């Protein structure tokens, strides 16, 4: 067995075998490969990375991708050189790979540019009770445990201002964005499938598009639509919609219908819908002046495995 291993082990190339010895070229920082080494490089079919990819601290990651700081690892080029070994030749050479800052760029583009800066640090992994909200510490602990146990469930957060509803939903949104990126990167199928919006912003976009003429000649600028939700589901991804201030928009029959249709589209696709609102279900029904519509909307968030979470 030892003789077999020795016979099949990749050849370890020496400096003299890899590069032509030429003091004139070396003095200029140039190195010319030998014909044998060049041929081996061409024949190699698989390069295994033998050097760990350097990482950024969470603070550096945020500063690079959100605040515009130059990455200390790649100095802004987007790639770093790491040592790789050829599977058949045993050659070890530096090869270019995407820097850690690039891997997280999509996350910060989706999460960092959609949530309010107050919630930029919201994270289920670091979620701890805080004295900055009116919700009692004991109640916060129970809420945090529930969120960590069901991070992929639909949830309707209700309660007065200052309880921390939006922060809790932002923690779930961060989890969803990270999970979607990891799954889609592994499948090599990038597709928009997670959305964060305020109800008023989303509905105003739908009103503006409704009154737009010559739609066939224009690109639909709406951030969340049934078509986008259905496209995510068609690709095999679970659509996830996070709506802040579900109860803060100028009521009209058109807006109420659009709110229902968007939420229902996500619900029918087997997706996740989370939302926050200050009003109780009864107050929400009075606001819409349509109890059936209000119940249809809230039922598609808090039913079928979802939760209605009272904060505090």
If asked whether residues 167 and 58 sit together in one domain, one would say no
Q: How many domains does the chain have?
A: 2
Question: Any idea of the CA torsion for 246, 247, 253, 259, to the nearest 10 degrees?
Answer: 0
Query: Which of 13-22, 100-109, 169-178, 212-221 is predicted with the least confidence, judged by mean pLDDT?
Result: 13-22
Whole-number pLDDT of residue 43: 87
If asked whether residues 88 and 232 sit together in one domain, one would say no
What are 2-55's pLDDT values in tens digits? 444 444 566 677 778 878 876 566 565 677 888 888 888 888 889 899 999 999
If asked whether residues 221 and 289 sit together in one domain, one would say yes
Angle (deg, nearest 10), helices 199-210 and 253-268: 110
What are 47-81's pLDDT values in tens digits? 899 999 999 998 899 899 888 899 999 999 999 99
90 compared with 269, residue with greater pLDDT = 269
- Bridge partner list, 93: 84
The domain of 72 spans 49-101
Whole-number pLDDT of residue 137: 95
Side-by-side strand order, sheet with 47-49: 47-49, 79-86, 92-98
CATH number at residue 253: 3.40.50.300
Answer for the pair 111, 58: CB distance below 8 angstroms, yes or no. Answer: no
If asked whether residues 110 and 92 sit together in one domain, one would say no
Residue 32 counted as domain residue:
no
pTM: 0.80
Whole-number pLDDT of residue 16: 81
22 compared with 174, residue with greater pLDDT = 174
Whole-number pLDDT of residue 89: 82
If asked whether residues 84 and 160 sit together in one domain, one would say no
CA distances from 88 to 44, 82, 110 (A): 7, 19, 41
User: Is the per-residue pLDDT at 215 higher than 80?
Assistant: yes
Per the prediction, the chain carries an average pLDDT of 90
Answer for the pair 310, 165: CB distance below 8 angstroms, yes or no. Answer: no
Kindly give, in sequence order, each residue whose CB lies less than 8 Å from that of residue 155, ignoring residues fewer than 6 positions away: 147, 169, 172, 274, 275, 301, 302, 306, 307, 308, 309
If asked whether residues 189 and 129 sit together in one domain, one would say yes
Whole-number pLDDT of residue 2: 43
If asked whether residues 136 and 84 sit together in one domain, one would say no
Whole-number pLDDT of residue 37: 84
What are 228-251's pLDDT values in tens digits? 999 999 999 999 999 999 999 999
DSSP 180-193: HHHHHHHHT-----
Which of residues 81, 101, 121 is at a domain's end?
Answer: 101
If asked whether residues 85 and 176 sit together in one domain, one would say no
If asked whether residues 82 and 171 sit together in one domain, one would say no
Angle among Cα 218, 221, 223 to the nearest 5 degrees reads 155
Query: Which of 173-182, 211-220, 263-272 is predicted with the least confidence, judged by mean pLDDT?
Result: 211-220
- Helix (H), strand (E) at residue 149: helix 137-149
What are 90-146's pLDDT values in tens digits? 888 889 998 999 888 889 989 999 999 999 999 999 999 999 999 999 999 999 999
Token pair of 74 as six digits: 């790649």
Whole-number pLDDT of residue 151: 96
């Amino acid at each position: 067995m030892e003789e077999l291993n020795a016979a099949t082990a990749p050849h370890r190339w020496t400096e003299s075998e890899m590069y032509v010895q030429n003091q004139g070229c070396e003095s200029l920082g140039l190195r010319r490969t030998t014909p044998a080494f060049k041929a081996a490089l061409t024949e190699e079919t698989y390069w295994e990375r033998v050097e760990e990819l350097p990482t950024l601290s969470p603070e550096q990651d945020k500063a690079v991708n959100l605040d515009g700081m130059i990455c200390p690892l790649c100095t802004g080029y987007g790639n770093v050189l790491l040592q790789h070994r050829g599977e058949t030749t045993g050659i070890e050479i530096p090869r270019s790979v995407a820097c850690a800052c690039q891997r997280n760029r999509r996350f910060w583009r989706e999460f960092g540019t959609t949530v309010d800066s107050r919630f930029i640090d919201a994270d289920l992994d670091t979620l701890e009770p805080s004295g900055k909200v009116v919700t009692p510490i004991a109640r916060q602990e129970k809420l945090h445990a529930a969120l960590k146990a069901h991070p992929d469930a639909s949830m309707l957060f209700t309660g007065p201002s200052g309880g921390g509803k939006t922060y809790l939903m932002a923690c779930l949104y961060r989890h969803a964005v990270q999970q979607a990126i990891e799954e889609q990167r592994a499948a090599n199928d990038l597709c928009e499938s997670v959305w964060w919006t305020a109800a008023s912003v989303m509905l105003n976009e739908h009103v503006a598009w409704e009154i737009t003429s010559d739609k066939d000649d224009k690109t639909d600028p709406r951030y969340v639509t049934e078509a986008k939700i259905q496209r995510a589901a068609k690709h095999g991804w679970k659509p996830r919609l996070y709506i802040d201030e579900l109860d803060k928009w100028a009521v009209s029959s058109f807006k109420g219908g659009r709110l229902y249709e968007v939420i229902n589209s996500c619900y029918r696709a087997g997706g996740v819908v989370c939302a926050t609102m200050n009003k109780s279900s009864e107050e929400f029904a009075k606001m819409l002046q349509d109890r059936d519509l209000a119940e249809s909307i809230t039922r598609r968030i808090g039913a079928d495995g979802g939760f209605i979470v009272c904060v505090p």
